[in-house]
Structure 1
Amino acid sequence: MINVCVACGTSYLQDEIEHCKICEDERQFVPKSGQQWLSLETLRASHSNKWQQHLPQLLSLQTVPRFAINQRAFLLQTPHGNVLWDCIANLDDASKTLISALGGLHAIAISHPHYYSTMQDWAAAFNAPIYLHADDSEWIMRDSPHIQLFAEDEFEILPTVKLIRLGGHFAGGCVLHWQHENGILLSGDIVQVTPGADGVSFMWSYPNMLPLSATTVEKIIQRLAKIKFERIYGAFEHREITFNAQRILLRSGEKYLSCLT
């Protein structure tokens, strides 16, 4: 039986559960009430996924009522196949039906371990590879034949879809760059879109408010200055910048560095 951590949504085999390694790391947290677990069957019975269309070829899905970290995942529809970016724990029947009707999944790619959740079940349902950076392999809590590790700083999934390892929040932390329209960056929270959707920030631990170093942020900014993107879609609902995103990101990076110095 598969159980998921209520705090972060990471999935474990029931017989192997001792504690949630993801939550016990300082980049997440163990709730004051302690660690709790939920079976996938119970989660599916009590929750569903809502969908939102952002662009004709870009959809997001998010579990309601909110569950665990409450991130959203994205479905990219490209001429070369569909990609699921990041993952949520609840794989409900409606999501299976919708994704299948849209052509299934060519690949799954995940920004960092906080969003690994039930990636193994999504991959099995659609017979899709999961692309993860090798630097984060220690955080894989359930093995799967679908997991494919890559070690490069840039990894092309499809002709217009590339993963870029930025590090920072996690050593293997990645963003996804899609050469669609004027360029789209799907950032998870490796680059966090701020609540006003007019800036971004960078943290080593968001819940514990531990920042990244100036050197690390400088490297992230330099990498992202070399690619073209007009839009950024972050991990959480309403956290997207749909105009001048690259300029806003570079300006935010300068502000972050000025605060540190």
Structure 2
Amino acid sequence: MSRSQLAAEGHTVVITEREPGLHALRVEPRLAIGQTCYLAATDQGNLLFDVPPFIDDEAVSAIRELGGIAAIAPSHPHMFGMQLAWSAAFDDAPVYVCEADSEWVQRHGPAMTYFDADATPLPEILLRRVGGHFPGSAIALWPGHDGHGVMLSGDSIGPVARSGWVTFMRSFPNYLPLSGAVVRRIAASVADLDFDRMYGNFGQTIPAGAYDAVQSSADRYARWLSGEFDHLT
């Protein structure tokens, strides 16, 4: 479906502040998987983490008022769709994609920038490959307005309904889990990072204690998959 057709159906990008310096972007009515994307502000420019599946002049103007986009980072291939369109709207802002997922890129251009394990699209923001959902699935670490650290987790680590816990899935729509070994690997890959809050791909939030939530949840997940608690089922 073309952009003009989507606009005719009333689609628009809704932008809301989640905390000082961090705005959530989502398309209404719901489009694609209904993802929530994030615009994280730094003194050196803004990062768009994950990409809305729709763009129009109103959204571009609204984001320009917030400081524009200096870099774009999709967390995994399900977020690739409109990345070059958003890049073009902001002076060909570089698009950071993990090399491990490069085979999924359908549109190529000079804005595409590939990284292996870590990347710093802006001086205050770290991208890290954690894998799991896709081999190149990545998270972003942003200092936050208070310097306590915020993880933008994409689909790699998902806050759940119970406060203070997260989960890890190969496929969320199909409830396909990851192995205990992979989950422990994901938790270990972020163990050296400092973060207190987390924002997930569908608007879920851990407002405090996110670091401990990741480590505790990974341990619980792996132990359940090991059969340790089969006697409770």
Structure 1 length as normaliser, TM-score? 0.82
1:205 counterpart (158, 164, 171) = 171
**2:85 partner SS:** helix
Q: Distance in 1 between matches of 2:189 and 2:167?
A: 15
Is 1:140 aligned to residue 105 of structure 2?
yes
Q: Deviations over 1:199-248 (max 9, x none)?
A: 111111112222111111111111222111000000003x0101111111
Secondary structure of residue in 2 paired with 1:144: coil
Q: Which whole-Å CA distance do the structure 2 matches of 1:103 and 1:234 have between them?
A: 23
Counting only pairs closer than 5 Å after superposition, residues 204-223 of structure 1 correspond to structure 2 as: 204-223=170-189
The partner residue of 2:216 within 251, 254, 259 is: 251
Q: Does 1:52 align with 2:49?
A: no
Aligned mates of 2:104, 2:14 — CA distance in 1 = 28
**Residue in structure 2 matched with residue 122 of structure 1 by the alignment:** 86
**Residues in 1 aligned to 2:185 and 2:179: alpha-carbon distance in whole angstroms:** 10
* Structure 2 counterpart of 1:165, one-letter code: R
Secondary structure of the residue aligned to 1:246 is helix
1:197 to partner: Cα distance: 4.5
Secondary structure in 1 matching 2:15: strand
Q: How does 1:20-99 map to 2 (within 5 A)?
A: 38-46=1-9, 47-99=11-63
Question: 1 CA distance for matches of 2:163 and 2:85?
Answer: 32
1:118 & 1:78 partners in 2: Cα distance?
23
Matches within 5 A, 1:175-190: 175-180=139-144, 181-190=147-156
Instruction: Answer with 187-196 or 57-66: which moved more.
Output: 187-196
Residue 138 of structure 2: which of 174, 183, 188 is its match?
174
Task: State the secondary structure of the residue aligned to 1:54.
Answer: strand
Stretch moving more, 197-206 or 112-121: 197-206
* Aligned equivalents of 2:61, 2:162: Cα separation in 1: 34
RMSD: 1.2
Cα distance in 1 for partners of 2:109, 2:20 equals 32
Q: Is 1:227–2:227 an aligned residue pair?
A: no
Kept after mapping to 1: 8 A contact 2:71/2:122: no
Q: Secondary structure of the equivalent of 1:59? A: strand
CA–CA distance in structure 2, aligned partners of residues 45 and 92 of structure 1: 12
**Cα distance in 2, alignment partners of residues 214 and 199 from structure 1:** 16
Answer whether contact 2:96 2:115 (CA < 8 A) is retained. yes
Unaligned ranges ≥5, structure 1: 1-37
> Is it true that 1:195 corresponds to 2:161 in the alignment?
yes
Contact persistence 1:174–1:187 (CA under 8 A): yes
- 1:15 corresponds to: none
Matching residue of 1:242: 207
Cα contact 1:44–1:91 (8 A) shared by 2: no
Matches of 1:197 and 1:70, distance apart in 2 = 22
How many corresponding residue pairs? 222
Q: Secondary structure at the match of 1:137?
A: helix
Residues of 2 paired with 1:226 and 1:54: CA distance? 25
Distance 2:193 2:65 in 1: 33
Q: Which amino acid aligns with 1:216?
A: V
Q: Percent identity at matched positions?
A: 37
| Runs of 4+ with >2 A deviation | 195-198
